[in-house]
Structure 1
Amino acid sequence: MERKIALYTEVCDLLHIKYPIIQGGMAWVAEHNLAAGVSEAGGLGIIAAGNATADIVRNEIRQVKEKTSNPFGVNIMLLSPHAEEIARLVIEEKVPVVTTGAGNPEKFLKDWKAAGITVIPVVASVALAKRMERSGADALVAEGCEAGGHIGELTTMALIPQIADAVSIPVIAAGGIGDGRGLAAILMLGAKGAQIGTRFVVSHESIVHDNYKKRIISSKDIDTTVTGRSTGHPVRSLRNNMTRNYLKLEEDGKSFEELELLTLGSLRKSVMEGDITDGSVMAGQIAGLIAKEQSCKEIIEEMVSEAITVMQKGWI
């Protein structure tokens, strides 16, 4: 008799979503169109606040609400000069879920929890995972260094089971997950859901420039590189003229300020203007696996179907 497997986990209950898949909070990419597309497809769409002002984020939140009645979230980059305003804004706008990155959200947790917001910090170590659980986080996104954008040092394969063993709240895996096999694998490692970034970048709903999407689709397994290790802020992107120049400056021992000048506005340049030569084309190592542009619905349903098939056949 064929064993029936349902991909419904504690994360689905916690977030009131159909599938245990959330979308990464990618600056300049994760705006209302993508967030609404993912939420409508049964996952959890996320608006990336990035360095945007509270007024811009408020407008994004309201546009998501116009497009879907399903749950969604806002990712707050805690190093943003507008982080405190946006921390208050998500309460005012009754945002159901907040994810956080680039800092410690402890000072906001009490107010968010009092407002009924589900809080999910992004972590890259066991120590931070434990601290976030003690502080009252509802779940965690544990991100391995295969991910695109800002990364830690541990791989997803090593990080997920260690964090899953260390905390009792649900763990959502991120980094290197691009199809149903990856989704099945992280569930076997102890995660209760997946955060997907790079594959959603090439969705129909994504507003990124076609040049950016085509660069991801045409990439090979070895096409990403990491810049910024010398500054303590490593970032994974697809190789291009900008990354080559950056790595050469790092090799020459240039200062943080000189390196920052090279990357100033570079992500916007690639996402909005399509400059994939001198812009920052952030993408995870999974980019080499992505071969086509699809809707968010097609991406999610294909991943879930494949994960169930893999587990039923005992390939894992």
Structure 2
Amino acid sequence: MTGRALSTPLTELTGVRYPIVQTGMGWVAGPRLVSATAEAGALGILASATLPVDRLRAAVREVRSRTDAPFGVNLRADASDAAERVRIIVEEGVRVASFALAPSRELIARLKDAGVVVIPSVGARRHAEKVAQWGADAVLVQGGEGGGHTGDTATTVLLPQVVDAVGIPVVAAGGFHDGRGLVAALAHGAAGIAMGTRFLLTSDSPVPDAVKARYLAATVKDVTLTTKVDGLPHRMLRSDLVDALERSGRVGALLRAVRHAAAFRRETGMSWPRMVRDGLAMRHGGELTWSQVLLAANTPMLLRASMVEGRTDLGVMASGQVAGIIDDLPSCAELVDRIMTQARATLRALPPAD
């Protein structure tokens, strides 16, 4: 493991050794990956959106059985059971709560009152300003290079905007995979970096080997941005399924959405009304077709098909653009050590200031 720690406002806030965050990727960031990340000295984030609420507590306890290091849990802020998941986080003494989308003022207050560090994920300056005003301890800002649901502003443009706009630590996401990126983010004023795709492509990741091979074989041009999966901009690997979704008309899209929705309902026990409510909650003011509403509610099943079952023909593969330049599968410990070693070498190689 890397030697001395690198102290930033992020490490001081969360208690980890290095200013590196492994994001809460659904079906990927389970106890195995999170505990390996935490043991390596970075902040592992457990994905809870793809866990039924009654399994969340067991997953948290499994991470804790594997490591004594701090870790976090990621929540969907718009989920109908978000309050119940927050209760479990508080009761289990989890160090950090991260959110996909901005949580309500009430959820932030409840977590902070319990001593939990709150780090929402945002994709726009105005959203960062809002959660900062509501009391968030830090904010994770993702540029358009990032995988999954993402925006259209590059990290190098968005990051300094947010750093200048808020008075809390900012974690940079979107396009990071090595020590040079960490140094660049720190130079922009960030307190650390967050990575999803890079941690997905480790030996500690539970993703099937055949799926990892698809990522490793991808070029930058094989990573595409589409709205055809659930109506929102979604960055993922190009595949036959994604191409079919891009070409499909309303009837075909609706039939495909109903099939996936039925599978998601069987897997989670979620009712049809709740699925529709969750799908509508993800619109964010946009106009979605009914097929997109259903897909928005059960996109986790499309991810599960690939990330768990290895069926890339039936599922989608969320991916940052960095997949096109990653070519190996180190352990989390090896990855963190490599990043920190390169970061220190990069800093030493910078010309001295006059």
The question of whether the paired residues in 1 share the 8 Å contact of 2:78 and 2:103 is answered with no
Structure 2 residue aligned with 1:157:
156
Partner AA of 2:14 in structure 1: L
2:73 match: secondary structure = strand
For 1:47-126, list aligned pairs within 5 A.
Answer: 47-126=46-125
Aligned residue in 2 for 1:301: 337
SS of match in other structure, 1:274: coil
Tell me, what secondary structure is at the counterpart of 2:236? strand
2:187 matches 1:188: yes
Find the partner of 2:307 among 271, 287, 290.
271
TM-score w.r.t. length of structure 1: 0.93
- Counterpart of 1:258? 291
Hey, what does 1:35 align to over in structure 2? 34
* 1:105–1:121 CA contact under 8 A, matched in 2: no
Compute the displacement of 1:315 (Å).
Answer: 7.8
Structure 2 residue identity aligned to 1:289: I
Distance, in Å, in 1 between the alignment partners of 2:291 and 2:128 is: 33
CA distance in 1, matches of 2:216, 2:7: 30
Alignment partners' CA distance in 1, 2:351 and 2:233: 34
Q: CA 1:189/1:117 → structure 2, altered by over 3 Å: closer, same or farther?
A: same
- The residue that corresponds to 1:179 in the other structure is 178
SS at match of 2:63: helix
Query: Which deviates the most, 290-299 or 240-249?
Result: 240-249
Tell whether the 8 Å contact from 1:7 to 1:308 is kept in structure 2 after alignment.
no
1: CA distance, partners of 2:199 / 2:229: 30
CA 264–8 in structure 1, closer or farther in 2 if over 3 Å, else same = closer
Evaluate the alpha carbon distance shift between residue 302 and residue 250 of structure 1 in structure 2; reply closer, same or farther with a 3 A threshold: farther
The offset of 1:111, in angstroms, is 1.2
* Pairwise CA distance, 1:69: 0.5
Aligned-partner residue type, residue 14 of structure 1: L
Determine if contact 1:147/1:284 at 8 Å carries over to the other structure.
yes
Q: Is the 8 A contact 1:96 1:117 kept in 2?
A: yes
20 and 231 in structure 1: CA distance in 2 versus 1, 3 angstrom threshold? same
Secondary structure, counterpart of 1:273 in structure 2: coil
Which residue is equivalent to 1:22? 21
In structure 1, C-alpha distance between the alignment counterparts of 2:233 and 2:187, rounded to whole Å: 28
What does residue 349 of structure 2 align with?
313
Provide closer, same or farther for how the CA distance between residues 250 and 311 of structure 1 changes in structure 2, counting only shifts above 3 A.
Answer: farther
Shift of 1:102: 3.1
CA distance in 1, matches of 2:311, 2:247: 20
Note if 1:284 corresponds to 2:320.
yes
Match of 2:167, SS state, is coil
Single out whichever of 28-37 and 94-103 deviates more from structure 2.
94-103
Post-superposition shift, 1:264? 6.8
Task: Compute the displacement of 1:252 (Å).
Answer: 10
List per-residue Cα deviations over 1:100-142 (Å, max 9, x = no partner): 0134332211111110000000011111111111111110000
Cα RMSD between the aligned structures? 2.3
The alignment partner of 1:119 has SS state of strand
- Whichever residue aligns with residue 306 of structure 1, its letter is Q
SS at match of 2:221: coil
Q: 1:231 to 1:250 in 2, by over 3 A?
A: farther
| Cα pair distance change 1:263/1:93, threshold 3 Å | closer
| Cα distance in 2 for residues equivalent to 1:288 and 1:52 | 29
Instruction: Calculate the TM-score normalised by the size of structure 2.
Output: 0.83
Asked if the contact 2:223–2:319 (Cα under 8 Å) also holds between the matched residues in 1, the reply is yes
Return the letter of the residue paired with 1:138. D
Asked if 2 retains the 8 angstrom alpha-carbon contact of 1:121 and 1:139, the reply is yes
Secondary structure at the aligned position of 2:83 is classed as helix
Task: Report the alpha carbon displacement of residue 202 of structure 1 after superposing the two structures with TM.
Answer: 1.5
Identity %: 37
2:165 & 2:228 partners in 1: Cα distance? 27
Is there any run of 5+ residues in structure 2 with no aligned partner, and where?
254-287
Q: 1:263 to 1:111 in 2, by over 3 A?
A: closer
Farther-moved stretch of structure 1 (139-148 vs 211-220) = 211-220
